[in-house]
Amino acid sequence: MTMPQVRMCDVTECYYNQGQVCKALAINVGGSHPQCDTFTPSRQHGGPASIGQVGACKVTQCLYNSDMSCTAPGIDVSHHEQHADCSTYTTR
């Protein structure tokens, strides 16, 4: 099983965001709500990866969730209130 890529993230205030590209090695997506738990507000930007991947997803009610992992071909992340949400989330 390969980890899906974060194709686009418009949460540019995150440390890991460079030009709407996520540079985290692997993000975690949260529990009762599909939020990016790796979101880190910062004026500085960096990250070790050329493109982020989804390491784990705890949103078991999502169509793409299998064994606490994401099986989507890729995900997009965007703003929801003051945090970042997986916008690829699809209720089963």
88 touching ligand SF4, by CB under 6 A: no
Distance in angstroms (rounded) separating the CA atoms of residues 20 and 57:
21
* Structure tokens given for 7: 């194709």
57 touching ligand SF4, by CB under 6 A: no
Residue choice 62, 70, 72, 84 for contact with ligand SF4 (CB under 6 A): 84
Task: Name, in order, each residue with C-beta under 8 angstroms of 66's C-beta and a sequence gap of 6 or more.
Answer: none
Residues engaged in binding ligand SF4 (CB under 6 A): 6, 9, 11, 14, 16-17, 22, 24, 27, 36, 38-39, 52, 77, 84
